[in-house]
Chain A
Amino acid sequence: MDRTYITELKKDGTILVTVLMLLLSVIVTSLSFYSIRQYQLEMLTGGLYRQDSLVFTIVDQGKTMDWRELDTDQPFTVFVEADSYRAIYYHKTTYIPPMVTGRFFREEDFYVGEMKMVCGQAVPRETIQRFEQIGYESIGIMGAHYASAIDDLVLVNIDAMIPTDNVHILYSNQNLLDNDTLPVNGELSIQVIDREDASVLRFLDGGYSVVSWFVVLLIVGIVFLATHYWTGKKTMELYILWLSGIRIWQPYQRFASFYLVLLSLCYWLVGLVSATGMLAFFSIQEVRVHIVNLLSGYILFMFSSAFSLWMAFRRLKKNTG
């Protein structure tokens, strides 16, 4: 690259803005990693139960449930607790824990007349063999690099369990509870259990979502200021153009587009590198969450820089009549 061109980029602040944007992209990426791992920790220490789970027993205990008939378009997950194992069914998506070997349940594993199981990494070999002797097929071993509540779990598909136990745990993004009934086959009467959170995180009392909000505000502030800095460098140029009788809208549009493209390139360069790196260590589901987080971060970047560009243009317009 031409040395004069580099000096020019240096002088008009483009290089510094590029460095700044790369740094901010790294912060967004780290925040995304942090929240994904934090959520993983919460789910694993909570034994795959979400904190907002609905715990209940079915009033008519003899009833055989078909959870495919729960009337909702939203994804949901339901567990039934038994003494030595736990049954699971989910619709659309669920939280998939890190796997040591094999795979977690897929939607096509339910209600097809098969008996499948996924065990935690600390479940003894003899226990797995005992289940296999009954007819269960072990499809995966789950567990993270640290010990957690899922390590001792034996999960089976819900249609394979013997329906003697009655404590159900259900979570969904939609509130499905209506006056102690659930919309299954008309109305299913349930008795809600106000179970306390049994996760060890309860002792640590850690709620760090507030940190995420501070980081979001911080990023908005820095992007706003960086854009302000860059437009400030361009203002004199635009002012001279205006003095020469050229309307400033078109060159301003060109400058703004260049800036937004530069910002996008910086952001997605870091974003794509991080997403590719994640593929090696995280599940596809977590990579997907990371990409959604990156998209949210991108909207944030675009919003704050567009706002700053708009303010700069207003100022310029005011000065140039």
Chain B
Amino acid sequence: MIVQEVKESLQRKKVFTFSIMLVIIMFLITVSALFQGYTQILGKEGIIKSFRLLQEYSLLDTLPPDELQSFWNEPNALDRLKLFYDGLETLGDAYIYVHTQPIGLSQNDSKIDESFLQGYESGNPWPPSSRDNRTYYSVKSVQLNAQAFSMFPISVKDGQSFSPEDFHESQILPVLLGASYSGIFEIGNTLTANYLGKDFEVKVIGLLEENSFVVRNDEIFLDRYIVMPVQQFGIPTDEDDVAFQQRHYLQIINGAIYSEDQKDIVQAKLEQVKEDVNFPHSALLGMPALPLGKLFNAIDEMLYLIQAFSIVLIVACILGITILMRKKIQDNYKNMMLHLISGGTLGQLFRYVLGEVFVLVCIPAILVTLVFGGIVLVISPLALMLYVLFMALCAAFIIIFSVIPIHLQFRRLPISQLLKREE
């Protein structure tokens, strides 16, 4: 009976019924798009959330160029430097080393696109150089230690990521390529690259996702970069190797400590390491900075904008749709009169109204949830659950706000008035 009545009522004003369903669909699509945007930003924030409370304390070696040689002449200078680096890595706080040292990529067969060359963005791409019948292109490269690699949002799209062994000396140096290198080099390709004056055989083990980034003062997007692990080396084999390791280790101690602690505590930890390994030539540089501070500010602002707009939109639209729904129900008053004359009760009529509103709201809600559910599921299963709940709440509010005024009207309305169309 109720199904028949609802069906008849919906068919009575087809254009209006269809239009109101369309409006509800548009409303639910809009709030779904906002929900998806909001959860997507939250998801991205989750990736970098660990940085929220951290402060970045930059380290700088205090060895001026003219004192450098006298330092290397000290006994066990390189070993003490290596021990100092080990001390930084095991400080208790994260020691992050991110450095954009270009590497000389040897390419004799094909030219490297200018956009990968060091200096391209500032209008001065470094020209290729020739040595031992080889042409070297200075390509943008970033060196990361294991802690930096695990902390920053770097994900591998194809191939494999760095393993802990990749951060120790190996015959072939594994590298990851930024997303723009796709189609230029293949995974498994072996290349020759010159890093700090030493030639390495490097092997491409993976390709990064687009927009992966690391932070060194500002965000560095890695799409056009070659990512190298900062390796630990054993005893140098010859004089050239000694010189290389000196350059390498003197560079990688200029990273940053990421800590929740105040400067004096971090300072004390650093002093302890310096004392333990007898390497006094390192100091904290200036005031601590907030890594990703601007990104967090942008995230907060975006979330605030979406929240504020969504609240206005949801409140205004639910009230608006409720008003239109009321019109749809009032159109049925003539029909309701016939029911009352034929012995129907107000309770029955109210159930018809409820059924009609339910169908008008739930069909669009189910359709939109099915379509957008798939998109939201990509973000996370939890997001999908929240989305379904959110859609159910939106639909419930429309139904409640549409039905309550009618319910009150039914309760107050003397039947004779309704029959006389004095509603």
**Chain A residues packing against B (C-beta within 8 Å):** 13, 16, 19-20, 23-24, 26-27, 30-31, 33-34, 37-38, 41, 45, 57, 81, 146-149, 151, 166-167, 191, 193-196, 198, 200-206, 208, 210-211, 214-215, 217-218, 221-222, 224-226, 228-229, 232
Contacts and interface: CB of A to CB of B under 8 A. Distances in A.
A200 B309 contact: no
A16 B324 CA distance: 9
Contacts of A195: 121
B26 A146 contact: no
A20 B219 CA distance: 46
B23 A196 contact: no
Contacts of B326: 16
A208 B213 contact: no
B22 interface: yes
Nearest to A58: B123
Contact of A208 (B29, B37, B224, B331): B37
A166 B23 CA distance: 53
A198 B219 contact: yes
29 contacts: A16-B327, A19-B319, A26-B312, A27-B312, A27-B313, A27-B316, A33-B309, A34-B308, A38-B302, A41-B302, A41-B305, A146-B300, A193-B123, A196-B221, A200-B294, A200-B295, A202-B211, A203-B153, A204-B44, A204-B298, A205-B40, A206-B41, A208-B306, A211-B34, A211-B37, A214-B30, A214-B33, A215-B30, A225-B19
A99 B16 CA distance: 50
Contacts of A23: 316-317, 319-320
Q: Closest 8 A-B residue pairs measured CB to CB?
A: A146-B297, A57-B123, A214-B30, A30-B312, A23-B316, A221-B23, A218-B26, A34-B309
B115 interface: yes
B319 to A, nearest CB: 6
Which of B223, B224, B294, B331 has its CB near the most chain A CB atoms (within 10 A)? B294
Nearest to A211: B33
Interface string B220-246: 010110000000000000000000000
Given A195-B121, A208-B37, A224-B19, A203 B213 contact: yes
A232 B123 CA distance: 66
B120 interface: yes
Report the contact-size class of chain B (Cβ under 8 Å from the partner): 35 or more
A154 B373 CA distance: 47
A34 B37 CA distance: 14
Interface string B1-40: 0000000000000001001101100110110011001001
A210 B33 contact: yes
B301 interface: yes
B19 A221 contact: yes
Contact of B26 (A16, A41, A204, A221): A221
A320 B319 CA distance: 35
A201 B40 CA distance: 12
B28 to A, nearest CB: 10
Contacts of A33: 308-309
B414 interface: no
B127 interface: no
Given A45-B298, A222-B320, A222-B324, A203 B33 contact: no
B293 interface: yes
Contacts of B27: 218
Nearest to B295: A200
A20 B323 contact: yes
Interface centre among B122, B123, B213, B321 (most CB of A within 10 A): B123
Contacts of B224: 196
B309 A30 contact: yes
B415 to A, nearest CB: 19
B340 interface: no
B299 interface: yes
Given A41-B302, A214-B29, A148 B320 contact: no
Nearest to A61: B123
B26 A13 contact: no
Nearest to B113: A194
Interface string B95-128: 0000000000000000000010000111100000
A57 B123 CA distance: 6
A24 B301 CA distance: 25
A81 B124 CA distance: 13
Contact of A203 (B23, B30, B211): B211
A81 B294 contact: no
Contact of A148 (B30, B33, B297, B305): B297
Contact of B122 (A27, A167, A191, A228): A167
Nearest to B26: A218
A30 B309 CA distance: 6
Nearest to B315: A23
Given A30-B308, A34-B305, A146-B301, A200 B219 contact: yes
Contacts of A201: 298
Nearest to B19: A225
B299 A204 contact: yes
Contacts of A224: 19
